[in-house]
Amino acid sequence: MKILLNSTYYILRTTFPIALIAYFLLLILNILTEDFVAYYINFTAWLWVLIIMGVLILWLGRKTK
């Protein structure tokens, strides 16, 4: 169980900053391309995924200490 929690924590901690940077880069690109990126990417869903990942990282961080 401990290994599973640890692995999940490290995967999320690795994914989160990349997903966060990509989110903002795509947001800027969306403004530059006059909403073209929004046709392919659901920014609202991406933001929710980021929030859930953030909460999980905080929770798993405490659990795995």
Contact (Cβ atoms closer than 8 angstroms) between residue 6 and residue 64: yes
Closer Cβ to other proteins, 25 or 52, answer by number:
25
Residue among 5, 22, 52, 55 that touches other proteins (CB under 8 A): 22
Closer Cβ to other proteins, 25 or 55, answer by number:
25
By CB atoms closer than 10 A (0-12, 13-18, 19+), residue 62 is: exposed
Residues that bind other proteins (CB under 8 A): 6-7, 10-11, 14-15, 18-19, 22, 25-26, 29, 33-41
